[in-house]
Amino acid sequence: MELDRACQRKGVNAMAIENKNRTAEEDASINVAEESRETTWKSKSYMGSIFVGDFDIDIPHRRGCGFPEQDPADKATGDSILANIKKWADEYLDGEQIDRDESIPGHVWAGLKDLNLFAIKIPKQYGGLGMSQTNYMRILSLISRYCGSVAATLSAHQSIGVPQPIKLAGTQAQKDKWLPKFAEGWISAFALTEPNVGSDPANMATEAYLDGDEWVINGEKLWCTNGVVADVIVVMAKSGTRVTSSGKEINEISAFIVETDTPGVEIIHRCKFMGIRAVENGLLRFTNCRVPAENLIGGQGNGLKLALSTLNDGRLSIPAIAADNIQYVSEFSARWGKTREQWGRNIGAHEPGSEKIAQIQSAGYAMAAFSDYCAYLSDEGKQDMRMEAAAAKMFNTELLWDTMDTALQLRGGRGYETSESLRARGEFDIPIERMLRDSRINRIVEGTTDIMHLFLAREALDWHLSNAGALFGRASAWTKIKTVAKCAWIYSGWIPKLLVPSIFRRFRSFHSTLRPYLRSLDSRSRKLARTLFTQMILQGPKLEMKQLTLARLVDVGTEIAVCGLVLSRVDTEIKAGSYDNLLTARYWAKTRLAHIDQLFRAVWRNNDADAKILAAEQMLRAEHLPKVDTSHLKMIETDVGRDITNGKKRKGVS
């Protein structure tokens, strides 16, 4: 009960944990991040509970009601639209040509607009399709089977572009003005990253100052997907400073709606990439760009918090696409394993081939379980999902890359050969090499894997910091004495629970063959809580610097969560009369439990210190790279979305 109450508490409210090991720059960055966190948990978190030793599988299993599946009426709505999209894509969406030309042709832009795919989640009252998060993810997954570039374009436009922030925090006037434009073919983008600033917005250089009833923006933004063709962009900029509750002065960051035809906005370079080659991603420059004060979204200084809130739903399209890609490849891999013969039998019957097919199949099932659960959380809107959304993005994209590589290896030379070449010489083609190239970006965009590890580690520690945080911050002696007393009371009841053997948990609502795996997960959840707590005691504030240790523990918690979802879904299928995926689920549980144990061992036995010393030695010998210089870049000629989606011939961008 204590944990149940704790998981619905107010978290640590922008607490500055003092750490003398930080540099001034690190301290500033951490304070900005703390100020931007969501501090209130609106419900008990399935993932959050795992890190405190509470494997509450009843949350995703809905107290015995089973794994959540899409509402039949909502599914029927999605099925109808998906059928129309598939019919159009079969005729008009040529992923190979788009990849080769590095450009999305005009008829595709127009087709997307005619299907209203620039307004998938926008409410019908504003001209949108009004789709659920689940159907939105299904639509992008289908598009991605044809072309990763087009899927990325749609995702960047409405997962993190202008529509989502306005839906979350826009005024009614902003919604009335901007949301109808996307059904008309307007394209949006999101501008946060800069040439010298990536995941650390505390050092953002782009600035905005208020001049009368206008904000004036100056700076540059890099890797702005859709930025080359966008009609309107959400721009993040420093808008002043403020003092935190702990007395630290930090930069405040605000979000602005900027139309790209505003004087002072220049697209100065289109970026080219290894994969998703047709995305219109660019480097943008803002020079005394003046935007109306009414274009501020969510209030001054709330831009980063808005961005993080947007990403809870926004980043869910990536794990959905990843899961669908692997399920698509799994279907083909089984066919290939059955068809291709070597050394007197088909390659799927040889142990290396069998293992690869099993890995691909089970990975696709697990990734879909995680992605679908997150879609349910988003559509339901009742449960806290910040950890699940971040973990799904991290887990599915890492597994996508590994599994796609496995599929390519199973396919051999044909996996490395382009789909176009295979088809030209008479072979059944599947674009694995293009899918592999396209998949690599997903470990980077919308929060790199390393950043997701740090984000999840901070959230995993929130219960402990809400209890003991005052001991590490600036607090009076009396406050610290009270905190010690409170911790003694809380932890004296919590620690003994972690020592209770999991054999006593019955999991009666689950099929008997699944219960041993659930007990194993429960046992490892308790071990995770003990290990994390022990590391806190041993390392103190220095634990923040042990990022590889924290990453391993985050991975343990994520693996436990995914295994639980897999077992919940397969149990629900069994109760419905289908045993088709039982072997898949058991294989996944066995292999991942072994992986979890390897991660635990690596917490205590690793080469992290040696890696740090070796890296320092190498960097000491190395020279600094030249500073980034964009002064030679001039404005390039581009199109805007509302023109190309409505049939205007493209000018072409170099």
**Tell me: the pLDDT tens digits for 80-116?**
999 999 999 999 999 999 999 999 999 999 999 999 9
The contacts of residue 446 (CB under 8 Å, 6+ apart) are 159, 160, 311, 314, 315, 318, 393
Mean pLDDT of 493-508: 94
Any domain includes 332: no
Distance CA 49, CA 74 (A): 30
Q: What is the mean pLDDT of residues 71-75?
A: 96
The torsion defined by the Cα of 534, 536, 539 and 543, in degrees rounded to 10, comes to 130
Within a domain: 581: no
**pLDDT score, position 32:** 65
C-alpha to C-alpha distances, 294 to 24, 176, 255, 354, 624, nearest whole angstrom: 35, 13, 11, 60, 43
Lowest mean pLDDT among 303-307, 357-361, 489-493, 598-602: 303-307
385 assigned to some structural domain: no
Q: What is the structure's pLDDT at 28?
A: 62
* pLDDT for 439 beyond 80: yes
Torsion sign (Cα): 538, 542, 548, 554? positive
- Which residues, including other chains, have CB under 8 Å from residue 545's CB and lie 6 or more apart? 19, 21
At residue 35, the pLDDT reads 66
Closest CA to 258 of 212, 309, 310, 206: 206
Query: Among 391, 251, 380, 373, which residue's Cα sits nearest to residue 311?
Result: 391
User: What is the average per-residue pLDDT within 334-357?
Assistant: 95
Length of the chain: 654
Greatest C-alpha distance within the chain: 80
Query: Could you write out the DSSP letters of every residue in 405-450?
Result: HHHHHHHTHHHHS-HHHHHHTT-----HHHHHHHHGGGGTTTS-HH
Nearest C-alpha neighbor of 562 from the set 435, 419, 428, 391: 391
Q: Which residues are annotated as catalytic? A: 446
pLDDT given at position 501: 92
Q: How far is residue 320's CA from residue 139's CA, in Å, rounded to a whole number?
A: 10
pLDDT confidence bin for 3, thresholds 50/70/90: very low
Distance CA 416, CA 422 (A): 10
Tell me how far apart the alpha carbons of residues 48 and 203 are, in angstroms, rounded to a whole number: 30
Residue 198, pLDDT above cutoff 80: no
Q: Is the pLDDT of residue 38 over 90?
A: no
Residue 2 is predicted with a pLDDT of: 43
- Over residues 380-388, mean pLDDT: 90
pLDDT, mean of residues 32-39: 66
Identify whether the C-beta of residue 159 lies closer than 8 Å to the C-beta of residue 317. yes
Confidence of residue 7 (pLDDT cuts 50, 70, 90): very low
Q: Above 50 in pLDDT, residue 653?
A: no
Q: How confident is the model at residue 34 (pLDDT cuts 50, 70, 90)?
A: low
Any residues with CB less than 8 A from the CB of 412 and at least 6 apart, and which? Answer: none
Does 234 map to a domain? yes
pLDDT in tens, 12-28: 444 455 566 666 666 66
Residues 294-323, mean pLDDT to the nearest whole number? 91
Q: Which helix (H) or strand (E) holds 591?
A: helix 582-604
Question: What b/e string do you get for 552-561 counting C-beta neighbours within 10 Å, with b at 16 or more?
Answer: bbbbbbbbbb
Strand partners, 237: 254
Residue 306 domain-assigned? Answer: yes
Q: Is the confidence at residue 470, as pLDDT, over 80? A: no
Provide the number of structural domains found in the chain.
1
pLDDT digits (tens, 9 = 90+) for 537-546: 999 888 989 9
Mean predicted lDDT score pLDDT of the chain: 92
pLDDT of residue 47 exceeding 60: yes
What pLDDT is attached to residue 134?
97
Are the beta carbons of 595 and 557 closer than 8 angstroms? Answer: no
pLDDT at 553 over 70: yes
Any domain includes 523: no
Residue 615 lies in a domain: no
Mean pLDDT on 536-563: 94
Confidence of residue 577 (pLDDT cuts 50, 70, 90): very high
Q: Helix (H) and strand (E) counts for the chain? A: 25, 10
pLDDT tens digit string along 251-267? 899 999 999 999 999 99
Q: Residue-wise over 227-252: b if at least 16 C-beta within 10 A, else e?
A: bbbbbbbbbbbbbeeeeeebebebbb
Contact 8, 34 (CB under 8 A): no
The answer to the question of residue 214 being in a domain is yes
- Calculate what percentage of the chain has a pLDDT beyond 70: 93
Q: In the predicted model, what is the mean pLDDT of residues 404-423?
A: 96
pLDDT(587) > 60: yes
SS3 assignment, position 313: helix
Q: Range of 205's domain? A: 188-312
Average pLDDT over residues 354-379: 97
Per the model's pLDDT, the better-predicted residue between 383 and 201 turns out to be: 383
Say which CATH number the domain at 239 has.
2.40.110.10
For residue 1, pLDDT beyond 50: no
pLDDT at 40: 72
Q: What is the pLDDT of residue 313?
A: 84
Residues whose CB falls within 8 Å of the CB of residue 260, separated by 6 or more in sequence, listed in order: 227, 230, 231, 232, 233, 267, 640
Residue 584 has what pLDDT?
Answer: 98
Tokens of 441: 């970006």
Amino acid residing at 499: L
Alpha-carbon distances of 349 from 137, 344, 403, 451, 591, rounded to whole Å: 35, 10, 19, 40, 20
First-to-last alpha carbon distance for the chain, in angstroms, is 61
Strands 232-243 vs 188-191: parallel, antiparallel or unpaired: parallel
